[in-house]
Structure 1
Amino acid sequence: MRPWLPDDAAALVAAFDDPAIRQWHVSRADTEDEARELITRWRRGWAAESEFNWAIVGADDTLLGRIALKGVDLFDAAAEVAYWTCAASRGRGLCTRAVLALSAWAFTDAGFHRLQLHHSTRNVASCRVATKAGFRDEGTRRGAALHVDGFHDMHAHARLRSDTALLADLG
């Protein structure tokens, strides 16, 4: 994982061209200019301490996905985890490993108390990532998020720094 760079714009446009990413995520970048604007906004989030975004890249710096902490609340030490992976990177546990790495950083280095995530009840793969990364099911929020095909019910998951399995999972 590394910070997003302006040079990632072309790869970001290609990622957002994936129908699966378009289905589950609201953000879009149809041109390299739009991608650079999005990357600039993500980088501003770091400066404002309101949102932390990383590019997930391979050893050759090829874009594999995105992971982020959104809605950062430093007073309550809480944030929401968001993620996606490029089509060629799916099915290898990459997203789960990234969520575990981000959780380790958030809980041990950044001092967060609670991380939460939400995904459409129709997004089975995202639910597997949340569960494998130790995020407990907290229920369903009905009609809570607008996707390209209408409003979806959203599963809510969360993980606390004090969760007993934390050290074993993040070790």
Structure 2
Amino acid sequence: MTRTLSTPPTLPAGTLANSPQPTLPASGNLLLRPWEPADAPTFLSAYQDTETRRWHTNRPTTETQVREWFDTYRQDWQQEKAGHWAVTRAGAEVLGRIALRSLDFDEGTAVLAYWVLPSARGAGVASRALSSLSTWAIDEIGFHRLELEHSTSNNASCRVATKSGYLLEGTRRSAAVHDDGRHDMHLHARIRGDRVRLR
């Protein structure tokens, strides 16, 4: 269905698809890069971890399925639906995942999601990756508002969000289903013009 807007879109079509998905630097010698087929074993291993499984019900079960996900990730970029990056140490060792999803070019909004492998937790990997991707999305691409959600029981994710300049805006009651049932979700957001003080 074609929509007729009374205001121009915040971002024009082609803003992402007209260029290859970029590799983005982050502090601490981190590099966010597109996923590669060779990353499939590491990606799959993340979903064997109890803590990762606790918060992610959509999980791959084989390396073949992971590579199919990677193919979808490439299509998502070309169709301007999402961007998915491996969080790596200098482009090599995979430490985690971060994604920019639910892209709305009319409103200039997007949603972020992330996880970090157990071996990389507690070292600021997620917050540095989130800060880098958020700055790029707002300052270089032109998104106006970025959101992320996490279970109110996920204290680690809450710390990542606030450390990266995402203000807690409220609680969405019983908004998501995890393996152990429904969870209330914290909603955080970062908008253009926020005076972000990274911690």
Q: Which of the five TM-score ranges fits, normalised by the shorter chain?
A: over 0.9
Q: Deviation at 1:60?
A: 6.3
Q: Pick from 120, 130, 139 the counterpart of residue 161 of structure 2.
A: 130
Q: Deviation at 1:12?
A: 0.8
Which residue of structure 1 lines up, in the alignment, with residue 181 of structure 2?
150
Unaligned runs of 5+ in 1: none
Q: Does 1:53 align with 2:88?
A: no
Q: Pick from 172, 177, 185 the counterpart of residue 141 of structure 1.
A: 172
Q: Does 1:76 align with 2:97?
A: no
Which residue of structure 2 lines up, in the alignment, with residue 100 of structure 1?
131
Unaligned runs of 5+ in 2: 1-31
Structure scoring higher RCO (CA < 8 A, sep ≥ 6) equals: 2
2:90 and 2:158 mapped to 1: Cα distance?
27
Which residue of structure 2 lines up, in the alignment, with residue 116 of structure 1?
147
Aligned pair count?
167
**RMSD in angstroms over aligned alpha carbons?**
1.1
1:59 and 1:97 mapped to 2: Cα distance?
13
Which residue of structure 2 lines up, in the alignment, with residue 39 of structure 1?
70
Which residue of structure 2 lines up, in the alignment, with residue 16 of structure 1?
47
Q: Deviation at 1:50?
A: 0.8
The one-letter amino acid of 1:28's match is R
2:46 and 2:134 mapped to 1: Cα distance?
24
2:91 and 2:164 mapped to 1: Cα distance?
26
What TM-score comes out, normalization by structure 1 length?
0.94
Contact kept in structure 2, 1:9 and 1:32, CA below 8 Å: yes
Question: Larger Rg: 1 or 2?
Answer: 2
What TM-score comes out, normalization by structure 2 length?
0.81
Deviates more, 1:82-91 or 1:2-11: 2-11
